Amino acid sequence: MKWNRLVMAGITAAVLVTTAGCGTAATDTSDTAATSAASEAATSALQESASDASTAATTSDSAVAADSVPEGMYRSELTNEPIDDALKDQRPIAVMVDNEQTALPHYGTADADVVYELMNSTMNNRITRLMCLYKDWEKITQVGSVRSTRPTNILLASEWNAVLCHDGGPYYNDQYFKKDYAAHFSGGFSRVNNGKSREFTEYIKSGDLDKKFKASKYSTTYNEYRPDDDSHFNFSANTDAKLSDTYKSVLSATDIRLPFKHNGSELKYNEKTQTYDYYEYGKVHKDADTGKILTFKNVILQDCTFNQLDEHGYLIYNCIDTGKAGFYLTNGQAKNISWVKANETDPTRYYDENGDEVAINTGKTYIALVPDDTWSKVAIK
Tell me how far apart the alpha carbons of residues 171 and 158 are, in angstroms, rounded to a whole number: 19
Give me the count of residues in the chain: 381
pLDDT band per the 50, 70, 90 thresholds, residue 313: confident
Could you please report the per-residue DSSP string of 79-112? T--EEEGGGTTBPPEEEEEE-SGGGPSPBSGGG-
pLDDT at residue 162 greater than cutoff 70:
yes
Q: Kindly report, residue by residue over 271-298, the tens digit of the pLDDT.
A: 999 999 999 999 999 999 899 999 999 9
Residue 267's DSSP bridge partners are: 256, 278
Least confident of 45-49, 172-176, 376-380: 45-49
Residue 371's DSSP bridge partners are: 304
Number of separate domains in the chain: 1
Q: Say which CATH number the domain at 251 has.
A: 3.50.90.10
pTM recorded for the entire structure? 0.83
Least confident of 56-60, 174-178, 229-233, 372-376: 56-60
pLDDT band per the 50, 70, 90 thresholds, residue 311: confident
Strands annotated E in 26-141: 73-75, 82-84, 93-98, 114-119, 128-134
pLDDT band per the 50, 70, 90 thresholds, residue 132: very high
Question: By residue range, what is the domain housing residue 65?
Answer: 1-381
**CB of 96 within 8 A of CB of 166?**
yes
Whether a cis peptide bond, with omega within 30° of 0, leads into 227 is: no
Q: Kindly report, residue by residue over 327-336, the tens digit of the pLDDT.
A: 999 999 999 9
Tell me how far apart the alpha carbons of residues 372 and 1 are, in angstroms, rounded to a whole number: 26
CA dihedral 178→180→181→184, nearest 10 degrees, is: 50
pLDDT at residue 58 greater than cutoff 50:
no
b/e sequence 13-51, b meaning 16+ C-beta within 10 Å: bbbebeebbbbebebeeeebeebbebbeebbeebbebbe
pLDDT band per the 50, 70, 90 thresholds, residue 308: confident
- Whole-number pLDDT of residue 252: 95
Residue 19: alpha-carbon gap to chain centroid: 22
pLDDT at residue 38 greater than cutoff 70:
no
pLDDT band per the 50, 70, 90 thresholds, residue 55: very low
Residues 6+ apart with CB under 8 A from 276: 256, 267, 268, 269, 270, 295, 296, 297, 299, 329, 366
**CB of 339 within 8 A of CB of 46?**
no
Residues 6+ apart with CB under 8 A from 5: 376, 377, 378, 379
pLDDT band per the 50, 70, 90 thresholds, residue 210: very high
- Whole-number pLDDT of residue 289: 87
pLDDT at residue 30 greater than cutoff 90:
no
Tell me how far apart the alpha carbons of residues 120 and 153 are, in angstroms, rounded to a whole number: 10
DSSP tag of 199: G
Tell me how far apart the alpha carbons of residues 177 and 25 are, in angstroms, rounded to a whole number: 12
Helix/strand/coil for 183? coil
